[in-house]
């Protein structure tokens, strides 16, 4: 696989409708798959995605939205709904729940999601708090690099950092490659003091982790923490109760041992700051990608939304629901047929 990152793009679409398309609320755009043959095979193996069933599965989810959540203001385009099916291995019920949670999270935390656009976060982006490395890892995962030491609390609240993270995730997930491969997080805690860490209390931790685990259609394949100070044990103690076991097992603490990091992220994709050979860490390229997407974010996050009361009641997934249960083929076919009857 090439070391160079695949270009970030929205899934191609054409202005056409399926013959079986229902009337309002919206006219979904046609979907054209942009995955390579290798990624199609990977999606089939890991996500239970079958190209020959793909559009039928999307239509089944669309029918469920219209029947069970008629007041949910959401895009119903093929490419958008496909993100949620992939994130939940084509289990219709759990994909619908994720979609509901996604919108519920956005409406229940206005400090983060209102007016979410790159131009409103220029100070955070310029600080170098986060960036996406130009090269993917050997599995094709983009690497989101976080550097909390770059944040000065007196300049702006911690919620601005969270806004920047969510903005980046929204841009990354537009790529079908990312939907299949997932992402890796590299968090550098060098220089993070106790006073700075105290801003990330249980309330913030629970909300952020809730979104990442149950409210956003992205696969987090690993979290690599480097240069963590002793106080990180306290930070992790705040975080861990909210983590599912699967995600907790994907945390790797390397300390200052970059050789340990390199066993997971090879040197040729890392900048010099982390013992790599890919040059100096450059934040300008990713900032430019985000700023060029201003109009997309204005359309999506800067318009009035409906009251959240109608969907909040559906936002909590059943207790103990696993995110790794695949949808059986026979069940999938039966559900598709059932929803096509409505």
Quick one: pLDDT at residue 338? 41
Q: Contact at 8 Å (CB) between 31 and 82?
A: yes
Quick one: pLDDT at residue 55? 95
Candidates 8, 94, 5, 46; CA nearest to 318 is 94
Quick one: pLDDT at residue 79? 96
Q: Contact at 8 Å (CB) between 159 and 111?
A: yes
Quick one: pLDDT at residue 42? 98
Quick one: pLDDT at residue 303? 66
Our CA dihedral for 116, 14, 101, 88, rounded to 10 degrees, sits at -130
Give every CB contact of residue 253 below 8 A, 6+ residues apart in sequence.
225, 228, 232
- What residue has token string 């318009």? 303
Quick one: pLDDT at residue 304? 60
Report the distance separating Cα 303 and Cα 305, nearest Å. Answer: 6
Locate 64 and state its tokens.
């469920």
Quick one: pLDDT at residue 305? 55
Q: Contact at 8 Å (CB) between 54 and 26?
A: no
Quick one: pLDDT at residue 306? 52
Q: Contact at 8 Å (CB) between 74 and 305?
A: no
Quick one: pLDDT at residue 27? 41
In a structure prediction context, what are the per-residue pLDDT tens digits for the chain, which is 342 residues long?
443 333 333 333 333 333 344 333 444 457 999 999 999 999 999 999 999 999 999 999 999 999 999 999 999 999 999 999 999 999 999 999 999 999 999 999 999 999 999 999 999 999 999 999 999 999 999 999 999 999 999 999 999 999 999 999 999 999 999 999 999 999 999 988 888 888 888 889 899 999 999 999 999 999 999 999 887 887 788 888 889 999 999 999 999 999 999 999 999 999 999 999 999 999 999 999 999 999 999 988 876 655 444 444 454 443 333 334 344 554 455 444 444 433
Quick one: pLDDT at residue 170? 97
Candidates 197, 167, 179, 190; CA nearest to 297 is 167
Quick one: pLDDT at residue 147? 97
CB neighbourhood size of 270 (10 A): 24
Quick one: pLDDT at residue 332? 53
Candidates 221, 177, 222, 184; CA nearest to 42 is 177
């Amino acid at each position: 696989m090439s070391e160079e990152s695949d270009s970030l793009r929205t899934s191609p679409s054409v202005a056409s409708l399926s013959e079986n398309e229902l009337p309002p609320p919206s006219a979904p755009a046609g979907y054209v798959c942009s995955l390579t043959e290798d990624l199609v095979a990977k999606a089939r193996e890991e996500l239970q995605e079958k190209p020959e069933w793909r559009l039928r599965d999307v239509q089944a989810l669309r029918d469920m939205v219209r029947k069970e959540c008629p007041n949910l203001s959401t895009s119903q385009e093929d490419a958008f709904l496909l993100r949620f099916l992939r994130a939940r291995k084509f289990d219709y019920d759990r994909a619908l729940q994720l979609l509901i949670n996604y919108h519920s999270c956005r409406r229940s935390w206005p400090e983060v999601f209102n007016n979410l656009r790159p131009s409103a976060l220029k100070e955070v982006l310029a600080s170098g708090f986060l960036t996406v490395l130009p090269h993917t890892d050997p599995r094709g995962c983009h690497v989101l690099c976080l550097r909390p030491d770059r944040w000065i609390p007196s300049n702006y609240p911690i919620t601005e950092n969270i806004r920047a993270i969510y903005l980046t995730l929204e841009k990354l997930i537009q790529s079908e490659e990312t939907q299949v491969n997932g992402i890796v997080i590299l968090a550098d805690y060098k220089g993070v003091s106790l006073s700075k860490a105290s801003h990330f209390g249980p309330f913030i931790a629970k909300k952020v982790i809730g979104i990442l685990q149950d409210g956003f259609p992205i696969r987090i394949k690993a979290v690599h923490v480097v240069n963590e100070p002793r106080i990180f044990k306290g930070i992790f103690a705040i975080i861990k109760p909210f983590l599912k076991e699967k995600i907790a097992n994907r945390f790797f603490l390397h300390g200052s041992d970059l050789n340990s990091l390199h066993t997971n992220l090879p040197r040729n994709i890392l900048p010099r700051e982390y013992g790599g050979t890919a040059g100096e860490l450059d934040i300008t390229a990713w900032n430019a990608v985000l700023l060029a997407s201003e109009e997309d974010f204005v359309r999506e996050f800067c318009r009035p939304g409906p009251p959240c009361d109608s969907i909040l009641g559906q936002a909590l997934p059943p207790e103990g629901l696993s995110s790794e249960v695949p949808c059986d083929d026979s069940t999938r076919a039966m559900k598709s047929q059932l929803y096509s009857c409505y």
